[in-house]
């Protein structure tokens, strides 16, 4: 995306329409290992899981972006 197009976007762009993102459904699984919280994000679409689409993260590395405004 060019800088000029980026600057024309609304302050709160539509993720799909304005930015071209595809919104997918993911499940979040909380796990503990050695007293540390971990989160595993798994796609609800099982075909994506077969393509190794998953995320494993420490709980403190994840935030709710809706609350960060």
In this predicted structure, the answer to whether residue 45 has a pLDDT above a threshold of 80 is yes
**Cα–Cα distance between 69 and 67 in angstroms, integer?**
6
- Could you state, in order of their start, the residue ranges of all structural domains in the chain? 25-61
Average pLDDT for 48-68: 78
Backbone phi and psi for residue 5, each to the nearest 5 degrees, phi listed first = -65, -40
Compare 4 and 34 and report the one with higher pLDDT. 4
Distance of CA 56 to the CA centre of its chain: 12
């Amino acid at each position: 995306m060019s800088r000029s197009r980026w600057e024309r976007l609304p302050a709160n762009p539509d993720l799909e329409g304005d930015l071209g993102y595809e919104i997918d459904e993911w499940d979040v699984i909380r796990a503990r290992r050695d007293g540390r919280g971990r989160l595993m994000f798994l796609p609800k679409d099982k075909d994506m899981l077969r393509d190794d689409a998953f995320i494993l993260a420490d709980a403190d590395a994840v935030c709710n972006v809706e609350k960060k405004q």
